[in-house]
């Protein structure tokens, strides 16, 4: 038994479940479920109306099917749309009131909320299944006028901000999964940075799916007002189960004049076992609007988990001189599949965007970069640079690149390059010669391959990500 346990932790060390009592919404997707969620969240009527509008829209929408990784049909009536630890039904006022079992969970995940309160300089919002359980460092942030809380809290306390920005980047009727999220989203983070404020610490949310047969639908809304700056981190894990769980989040970013948002993700949902059983379907909509002049949004993602990753964090560059960036590492091993990339829509003048995407494919996996660069007619003097590199390990996997490039302006320039290769044998030989075994050598080379992206991550995350990159590829060589 012990060795078995050890093996499991080696493969996916976050695969445990926490035994806490849950409150669940009735199974299935219906108006009742939505009303239940809205009621339990004590939401005002306008919010419920908004959700119902999305639900009505959903009825006529069709699930998209153009993506490369195909999956069995999801039975939306067989899912729980709300699941919360019973102890959190009354929102805890301080960390002392949180169910110790949940605190223990986060400790196992390496996010000791209690200690973090005192030691580490990162403010954390932890989301357990459908609810936010703890937000740290609130006081210090409040002093600066920064709002960092769960979205449910924001709906109650800052309705004017939520009303103004929610759905302004990802409209209600955007596409199937975004609309589904709009109807049933349960929790997530809300960040507002007031004008001319630099957020003094990294803000971070940790997502955890615990209950079975649950979908997680969180919603994140970040607003950086004029001249402000914020760096936001997101991490995710889930227990090992042999069923596929759906995760359909919406993330909306709004950057006003001269503001900058840096959004980093280390996604490590359960990828399924070696034979492709179980794992998370990660169908996420992430979109940022550079609404103001000179604004900047930067996405960095390290995607190592999930059975299927299907997402395109995008930037809409509306303001003149605005900048969009996308740095991505997507690693797929065993039977994992990824169809990910970005969209850069240039609308304003002198807008710039940069895309660096590194895809690594091993085992029987399929890894795809799909991206759109669209320079519109009015976006004069705009620039885009795209680089996508793919690495293939073994001859059972696939690596694909599908860029869509549209240029409708005579003064704008788009450059795109992509390569697909395997690990250079000379490099491997060089490492072997210096006493590194095959696996270490591969890990070293892969880390070098990813370096450009890893450098973009905040320090604490970079170390974790680097380790993840090595672990994800373990056993894929030889």
Partner 1 sequence: MKQFYDFKVEKIKDLSPEDKNLREEYLDLFYKNGFPNKKEEDWKFTDLNSILSKNFDNITNKDFLLDNKKLNFINEFEHNHIYLLDGKLISSDLTYEDRNKISIIDFNYKNNITIDKNNSLNLLNNALAMGGFTLEVSKNYKLNKPLIIYNYFSKDIKETIINNKNSIILNDNSELTLINYIDNKSKDNFMVNSMENIEIRRDALLKNIFINNSKSAGYFYKYIKSDLEKNSVFENYILSSGLKFNKLDIEINLNQEYAKSTIFSALNLLESEHQEIKTRINHNSQNCQSYQKIKNVLSDQSKGVYQGKIFVKKIAQKTDAYQLSKALILNDDAEFDAKPELEIYADDVKCSHGSTSGSIDLDSLHYLKSRGIPEKEAYKMLISGFLGETLEKLIEENVKFFLLKKLEGQINGN
Residues 363-382 that bind partner 1 (CB under 8 A): 377, 380
Report the half-sphere exposure of 158 (CA within 13 A, side-chain side): 21
Give the interface segment with partner 1, choosing from 232-240, 287-295, 314-322, 407-415 (CB under 8 A).
407-415
Distance CA 447, CA 12 (A): 20
- Told to check if 421 binds partner 1 by CB under 8 A, we report yes
Rule CB under 8 A: choose which of 48, 61, 418, 477 binds partner 1: 418
Which one, 16 or 385, has the nearer CB to partner 1?
385
Which one, 412 or 466, has the nearer CB to partner 1?
412
Specify the pairing of strand 189-193 against strand 147-150. antiparallel
Distance CA 382, CA 478 (A): 46
Residues 60-89 that bind partner 1 (CB under 8 A): 66
Report the half-sphere exposure of 466 (CA within 13 A, side-chain side): 17
Residue 31 CA from chain centroid, whole number: 28
Which one, 215 or 363, has the nearer CB to partner 1?
363
Give the interface segment with partner 1, choosing from 90-98, 138-146, 319-327, 402-410 (CB under 8 A).
402-410
Residues in the chain: 478
Which one, 17 or 407, has the nearer CB to partner 1?
407
- Told to check if 422 binds partner 1 by CB under 8 A, we report yes
Which one, 124 or 414, has the nearer CB to partner 1?
414
Which one, 142 or 419, has the nearer CB to partner 1?
419
Give the interface segment with partner 1, choosing from 25-33, 316-324, 326-334, 396-404 (CB under 8 A).
396-404
Q: Of the candidates 160, 468, 167, which has an alpha carbon nearest to the alpha carbon of residue 303?
A: 468
- Told to check if 420 binds partner 1 by CB under 8 A, we report yes
Give the interface segment with partner 1, choosing from 91-99, 154-162, 179-187, 414-422 (CB under 8 A).
414-422
* Residue 242: Cβ within 10 Å count: 10
Closest distance to partner 1 from the beta carbon of 79 (Å): 30
- Told to check if 427 binds partner 1 by CB under 8 A, we report no
Closest distance to partner 1 from the beta carbon of 348 (Å): 15
Pair 470, 439: CB distance under 8 Å = no
Q: Of the candidates 137, 192, 202, 134, which has an alpha carbon nearest to the alpha carbon of residue 159?
A: 192
Give the interface segment with partner 1, choosing from 102-110, 321-329, 400-408, 426-434 (CB under 8 A).
400-408
Interface residues with partner 1 (CB under 8 A) are 66, 377, 380, 390, 392-422
């Amino acid at each position: 038994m012990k060795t078995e346990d050890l093996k499991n932790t080696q493969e996916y060390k976050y695969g445990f479940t926490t035994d806490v009592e849950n409150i669940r919404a009735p199974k299935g997707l219906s108006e009742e479920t939505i009303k239940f969620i809205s009621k339990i969240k004590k939401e005002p009527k306008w919010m419920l109306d908004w959700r119902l509008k999305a639900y009505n829209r959903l009825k006529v929408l069709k699930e998209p099917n153009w993506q490369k990784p195909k999956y069995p049909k999801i039975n939306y009536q067989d899912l729980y749309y709300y699941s919360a630890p019973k102890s959190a039904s009354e929102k805890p006022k301080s960390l002392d009131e949180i169910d110790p079992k949940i605190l223990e969970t986060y400790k196992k995940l390496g996010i000791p909320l209690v200690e973090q309160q005192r030691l580490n300089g990162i403010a954390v919002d932890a989301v357990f299944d459908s609810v936010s359980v703890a937000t740290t460092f609130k006081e210090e942030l409040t002093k600066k006028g920064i709002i960092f809380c769960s979205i449910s809290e924001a709906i109650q306390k800052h309705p004017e901000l939520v009303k103004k920005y929610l759905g302004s980047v990802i409209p209600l009727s955007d596409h199937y999964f975004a609309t589904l999220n709009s109807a049933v989203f349960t929790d997530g983070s809300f960040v507002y940075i007031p004008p001319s404020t630099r957020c003094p610490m990294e803000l971070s949310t940790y997502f955890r799916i615990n209950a079975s047969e649950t979908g997680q639908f969180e919603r994140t809304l970040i607003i950086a007002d004029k001249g402000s700056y914020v760096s936001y981190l997101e991490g995710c894990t889930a227990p090992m189960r042999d069923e596929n769980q759906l995760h359909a989040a919406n993330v909306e970013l709004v950057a006003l004049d001269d503001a900058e948002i840096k959004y980093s993700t280390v996604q490590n949902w359960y990828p399924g076992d070696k034979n492709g059983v179980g794992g998370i379907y990660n169908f996420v909509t992430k979109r940022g609007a550079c609404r103001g002049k000179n604004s900047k949004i930067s996405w960095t993602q390290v995607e190592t988990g999930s059975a299927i990753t299907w997402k395109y964090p995008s930037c809409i560059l509306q303001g003149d001189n605005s900048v969009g960036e996308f740095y991505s590492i997507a690693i797929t091993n065993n039977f994992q599949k990824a169809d990910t990339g970005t969209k850069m829509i240039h609308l304003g003048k002198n807008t710039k965007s940069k895309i660096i995407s590194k895809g690594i494919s091993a085992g029987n996996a399929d890894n795809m970069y799909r991206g759109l660069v669209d320079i519109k007619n009015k976006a004069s003097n705009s620039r885009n640079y795209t680089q996508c590199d793919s690495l293939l390990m073994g001859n059972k996997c696939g690596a694909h690149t599908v860029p869509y490039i549209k240029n409708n302006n005579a003064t704008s320039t788009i450059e795109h390059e992509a390569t697909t290769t395997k690990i250079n044998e000379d490099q491997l030989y060089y490492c072997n010669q210096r006493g590194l075994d095959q696996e270490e050598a591969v890990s070293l080379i892969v880390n070098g391959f990813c370096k450009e992206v890893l450098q973009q991550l905040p320090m604490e995350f970079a170390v974790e990500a680097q380790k993840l990159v090595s672990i994800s590829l373990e056993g894929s060589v030889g």
